[in-house]
């Protein structure tokens, strides 16, 4: 059991100047962005102006370093294009023409419009939010209370992680796994579906420590990304074939008896069925499906089978395909078969979220629904939802959309439909934002929100095990208000008089931490003074089994009572769009398109920060030399990348880092900041993953041609 590690008392004062500058006050903050690293930050403030942000050197995973993006947080906060006053639409829908309006007028009108809709059918109102900030206060607390009390439609927040989360839950029982800090001691690290240098930098530092100490690093990714280039082995498989690779490895483990029979017998369920299925998977069969050499499958199995302290860092990159949920299930079986969970530096980490004890009901107050059970809309099919005329199983047409912490005009799949929906003249749209994003341009009202430097919050992490507090460093700029304050004000105008609508941000932050042994010694007051604090969770949480499944065992197969006629074992499900499943489509659109994160952006955030945008030099498309030659494409040339759903333009980059038959473009460019006004999501579709109802961003066929 790790002792609760917090900053020692005595170093808790928040006035310790950086570099001995007496006028400089230091405020403890937390990076709010959707990233596993959730860094502890120190903000230097002079005369009410934030002048410096840096990583907290004492926080074990931040270790004094911020990523390129967040080290520019001041540029983002003080950006000349921040929305600092409420705006009301003054031109046609989607034109981006606005006039300024007072808060009172904006809130009066918005609450009147919502009240009128709620009187006929509150389910015609839909909140749309994701992880613009991961804070509990400015995320789903006051906002959730507001929509629950209203009886609005519920939103299924699937856009990132739901397939993998469900896959992991079925095997391990929740979003639980290794302590990321333990990877520093692993002897083998398998980075599976992640470009860690871009998306999980502080994990990469730990992996580097392990590498220096002699560990072997393996990367499994269809793209030879920056991370793959720095690993000892790279298995550059076809996208969407990870489950087949995992089965190939399991076949080798079984045939060679590289198994921990004692661990399997005591702590797993379904091994006999798994064993039988695994024997059907030769290295050759797996290699054939994955587009690899059989030797590569054998090598991965030999490494996993022969290393106890083997840590698998799975990330969400591999579950954005049709079979993503089952791929995570298959991979999650591996550490139980080899007994890697016995070691603190062995096992697997997809997300650490489930280790946190969060008082969700206190924050979100689902009890405010009373007896009402509103329908749930999947955020990944927002295009179809906005265009639905209403009726039948769908229920009422969506008449009002309230967007906060998200940018659906760019991030959601099949943009043509999302934009057509947002342009409906009869849709009333309110967007809480820092900037005039492509989504905000479609609003009837844009409400100016504060950034992390201007409001209070508390955060957990999905990559490490620390709670991190965020103290406001500066006063809100202009007329900006925290999300929670905006929903509090709307609630007051709607006449919601439950006491919870009077909770201050401090009260909400304190409510977030559940009373639970994992939070022992941690409360918001402590976090506030110390900045962060670690959960009391064992270093090797499943060394003696004790998985949070109903059986307490690692579920290699569904338990008998959950099988209900389905295949109890992880399945191999090929993409919706590939030569095997859609040969006629692949004949017209033969190239698989991947659109993973850009290093200088955070999804669509930071695209408008000039210095970071300059680092990405415009939308680019990586094309394999063979595919380029077949189409007569030249380096640097402007390309048209298209399918039946849409197109985007990008500069041609001929590179052997991609596979033959696969093109790659990075990041989610704002439409209005890309040369052709389009986004990669003009090309993607709204079909959902096998588990969890997630989007299939990396399951998409296209063709390219000179523009
Ligand atoms: N700089 C930066 N950091 C970020 C983000 C960002 O946009 N920019 N995004 C944040 C968010 S929202 C998230 S969810 C996290 C995690 O973000 P993830 O989306 O997991 O991001 P990455 O790890 O960068 O990239 C995914 C990797 O998966 C690979 N991949 C694609 N398809 C497959 C497949 O079928 N199989 C396998 N094995 N690999 C595949 C891609 O080639 C890519 O290298 O990162 C966060 N961190
Ligand atoms: N093609 C393709 N599409 C993808 C992905 C991909 O890899 N490829 N990745 C997907 C993934 S993993 C994710 S997580 C989603 C991300 O989708 P989103 O969660 O929508 O992420 P962002 O694009 O970062 O947009 C967040 C917005 O919230 C705003 N914001 C930040 N803080 C606050 C605040 O305190 N208050 C308010 N009101 N607003 C705030 C920011 O200004 C920003 O415009 O995109 C998905 N879309
Ligand atoms: Mo994400």
For residue 193, what is the domain's CATH number?
3.40.228.10
The pLDDT of residue 560: 85
| Nearest ligand 2 atom, CA 451 | 35
Evaluate whether residue 483 is within a structural domain.
no
The pLDDT of residue 7: 41
Evaluate whether residue 460 is within a structural domain.
no
- Give yes or no: residues 144 and 156 share one domain: yes
| Nearest ligand 2 atom, CA 34 | 14
Query: What are the distances in angstroms from CA 469 to CA 87, 135, 449, 664?
Result: 31, 9, 19, 37
Measured in Å, residue 315 CA sits from the centre of ligand 1 at 7
- Give yes or no: residues 187 and 126 share one domain: no
Is the pLDDT at 4 greater than 60, yes or no?
no
What are the DSSP E strand ranges found in 229-364? 233-235, 268-269, 310-314, 347-349
Q: What is the CATH number of the domain that holds 692?
A: 2.40.40.20
Q: Per the structure block, which two tokens stand in for 335?
A: 């550490």
Q: Which of 15-24, 256-265, 477-486, 657-666 is predicted with the least confidence, judged by mean pLDDT?
A: 15-24
Is the pLDDT at 6 greater than 60, yes or no?
no
- 87 pLDDT band, cuts 50/70/90, is very high
Strand 701-706 with 591-594, pairing? antiparallel
Evaluate whether residue 174 is within a structural domain.
yes
- Give yes or no: residues 130 and 205 share one domain: no
| Residue 600 CA from chain centroid, whole number | 16
- 11 pLDDT band, cuts 50/70/90, is very low
List all residues 6 or more positions away from 112 whose beta carbon is below 8 Å from its beta carbon: none
Give the ligand at the shortest distance from the Cα of 198: 1
Evaluate whether residue 95 is within a structural domain.
yes
- Give yes or no: residues 406 and 277 share one domain: no
In this structure, the residue with its CA closest to atom 42 of ligand 1 is 223
Q: Which of 192-196, 433-437, 558-562 is predicted with the least confidence, judged by mean pLDDT?
A: 558-562
In this structure, the residue with its CA closest to atom 33 of ligand 1 is 318
For residue 485, give the nearest of 531, 448, 439, 436 by alpha carbon.
448
pLDDT tens-digit series, residues 494-511: 999 999 999 999 999 999
Number of domains in the chain: 3
User: What's the rounded mean pLDDT across residues 176-195?
Assistant: 98
Evaluate whether residue 36 is within a structural domain.
no
Q: 133: Cβ below 6 Å to ligand 2?
A: yes
- Give yes or no: residues 309 and 422 share one domain: no
- Give yes or no: residues 167 and 156 share one domain: no
Q: What is the CATH number of the domain that holds 415?
A: 3.40.50.740
Measured in Å, residue 145 CA sits from the centre of ligand 1 at 32
The pLDDT of residue 617: 85
Q: What is the distance between the alpha carbons of residues 463 and 34, in angstroms, rounded to a whole number?
A: 11
The pLDDT of residue 198: 96
| Nearest ligand 1 atom, CA 196 | 23
> Which range marks the domain in which residue 261 is found?
163-350+541-561
Evaluate whether residue 487 is within a structural domain.
no
516: exposed, middle or buried (Cβ count in 10 Å: 0-12, 13-18, 19+): middle
CB 253 within 8 A of CB 314: no
Give the ligand at the shortest distance from the Cα of 319: 1
User: What's the rounded mean pLDDT across residues 103-109?
Assistant: 98
- Give yes or no: residues 384 and 268 share one domain: no
Evaluate whether residue 359 is within a structural domain.
no
- 21 pLDDT band, cuts 50/70/90, is confident
CB 406 within 8 A of CB 132: yes
Helix or strand run (H / E) with residue 431: strand 428-433
Measured in Å, residue 277 CA sits from the centre of ligand 3 at 33
Residues with CB under 6 A from ligand 1: 34-35, 160, 192-195, 198-199, 220-223, 225, 239-240, 242, 315-318, 321, 594, 596-597, 599, 601-603, 698
Q: 201: Cβ below 6 Å to ligand 2?
A: no
The whole-chain average pLDDT of the chain stands at 96
- Give yes or no: residues 557 and 587 share one domain: no
Is the pLDDT at 13 greater than 90, yes or no?
no
Give the ligand at the shortest distance from the Cα of 411: 2
For residue 524, give the nearest of 507, 506, 505, 510 by alpha carbon.
510
Domain boundary at 561, 593, 628, which?
A: 561
Evaluate whether residue 48 is within a structural domain.
no
- Give yes or no: residues 437 and 555 share one domain: no
Residues for the chain: how many in total? 707
Is the pLDDT at 12 greater than 90, yes or no?
no
- 361 pLDDT band, cuts 50/70/90, is very high
- Give yes or no: residues 591 and 669 share one domain: yes
The pLDDT of residue 562: 82
CB 463 within 8 A of CB 352: yes
- Give yes or no: residues 167 and 274 share one domain: yes
Q: What is the distance between the alpha carbons of residues 169 and 184, in angstroms, rounded to a whole number?
A: 26
Q: What percent of the chain has pLDDT over 90?
A: 95
pTM of the model as a whole: 0.96
- Give yes or no: residues 147 and 199 share one domain: no
User: What's the rounded mean pLDDT across residues 584-611?
Assistant: 96
Cα dihedral across residues 334, 336, 340, 345: positive or negative: positive
In testing the pocket of ligand 2, which one of 86, 321, 434, 477 has its CB within 8 Å of the most ligand atoms?
Answer: 434
């Amino acid at each position: 059991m790790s002792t609760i590690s917090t900053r020692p008392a005595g170093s808790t004062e928040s006035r310790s100047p950086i570099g001995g500058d007496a006028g400089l006050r230091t405020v403890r903050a937390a990076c709010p962005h959707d990233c596993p690293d959730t860094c502890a930050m120190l903000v230097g403030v002079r005369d009410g102006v934030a002048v410096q942000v840096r990583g907290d050197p004492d926080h074990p995973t931040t270790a004094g370093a911020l990523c390129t993006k967040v080290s520019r947080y001041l540029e983002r906060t003080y950006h000349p294009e921040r929305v600092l006053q409420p705006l009301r639409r003054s031109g046609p829908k989607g034109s981006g023409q606005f006039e300024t309006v007072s808060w009172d007028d904006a809130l009066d009108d918005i609450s009147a419009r919502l009240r009128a809709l709620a009187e006929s059918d509150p389910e015609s109102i839909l909140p749309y939010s994701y992880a613009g900030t991961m804070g509990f206060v400015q995320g789903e607390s006051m906002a959730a209370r507001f929509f629950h009390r209203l009886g609005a439609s519920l939103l299924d927040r699937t856009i990132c992680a739901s397939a993998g989360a469900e896959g992991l839950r079925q095997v391990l029982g929740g979003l639980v796994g290794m302590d990321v800090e333990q990877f520093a001691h692993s002897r083998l690290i398998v980075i599976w579906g992640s470009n860690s240098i871009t998306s999980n930098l502080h994990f990469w530092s730990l992996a580097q420590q392990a590498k220096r100490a002699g560990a072997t690093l393996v990367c499994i990714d269809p793209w030879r990304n920056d991370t793959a280039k720095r690993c000892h082995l790279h298995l550059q498989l076809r996208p969407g074939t990870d489950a087949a690779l995992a089965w190939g490895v399991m076949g080798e483990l079984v045939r060679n008896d590289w198994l921990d029979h004692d661990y399997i017998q005591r702590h797993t369920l379904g091994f006999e069925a798994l064993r039988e299925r695994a024997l059907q998977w030769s290295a050759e069969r797996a290699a054939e499906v994955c587009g690899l050499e059989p030797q590569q499958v054998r090598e991965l199995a030999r490494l996993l089978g022969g290393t106890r302290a083997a840590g698998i860092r799975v990330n969400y990159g591999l579950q954005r395909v049709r079979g993503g949920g089952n791929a995570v299930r298959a991979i999650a079986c591996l550490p139980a078969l080899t007994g890697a969970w016995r070691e603190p530096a062995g096992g697997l980490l997809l997300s650490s979220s489930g280790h946190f004890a969060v008082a969700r009901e206190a924050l979100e107050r689902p009890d405010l629904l009373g007896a009402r059970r509103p329908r749930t809309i999947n955020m990944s099919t927002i295009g179809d939802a906005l265009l639905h005329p209403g009726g039948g199983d769908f229920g009422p047409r969506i008449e009002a959309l309230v967007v906060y912490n998200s940018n659906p005009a760019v991030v959601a799949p099949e943009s043509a439909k999302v934009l057509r929906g947002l342009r409906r003249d009869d849709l009333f749209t309110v967007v809480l934002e820092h900037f005039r994003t492509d989504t905000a341009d479609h609003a009837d009202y844009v409400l100016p929100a504060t950034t992390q430097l201007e409001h209070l919050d508390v955060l957990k992490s999905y990559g490490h095990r620390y709670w991190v507090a965020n103290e406001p460093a500066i006063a809100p700029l202009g007329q900006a208000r925290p999300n929670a304050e905006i929903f509090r004000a709307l609630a007051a105008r709607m006449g919601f008089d439950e006491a919870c609508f009077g909770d201050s941000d401090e009260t909400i932050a304190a409510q977030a931490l559940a009373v639970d042994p994992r939070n022992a010694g941690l409360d918001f007051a402590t976090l506030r003074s110390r900045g962060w604090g670690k959960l009391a969770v064992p270093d090797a949480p499943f060394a003696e089994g004790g998985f949070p499944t109903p059986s307490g065992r690692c579920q290699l197969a569904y338990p008998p009572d959950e099988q209900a006629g389905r295949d109890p074992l992880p399945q191999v499900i090929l993409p919706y769009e590939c030569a095997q499943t859609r040969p006629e489509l692949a004949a017209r659109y033969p190239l698989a398109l991947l659109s993973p994160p850009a290093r200088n952006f955070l999804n669509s955030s930071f695209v408008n920060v000039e210095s970071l945008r300059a680092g990405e030099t415009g939308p680019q498309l990586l094309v394999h030399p063979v595919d380029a030659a077949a189409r007569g494409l030249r380096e640097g040339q402007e390309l048209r990348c298209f399918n039946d759903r849409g197109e985007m333009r990008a500069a041609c980059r001929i590179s052997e880092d991609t596979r033959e038959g696969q093109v790659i473009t990075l990041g989610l460019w704002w439409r209005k900041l890309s040369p052709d006004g389009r986004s990669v999501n003009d090309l993607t579709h709204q079909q959902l993953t096998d588990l969890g109802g997630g989007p299939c961003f990396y399951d998409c066929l296209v063709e390219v041609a000179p523009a």
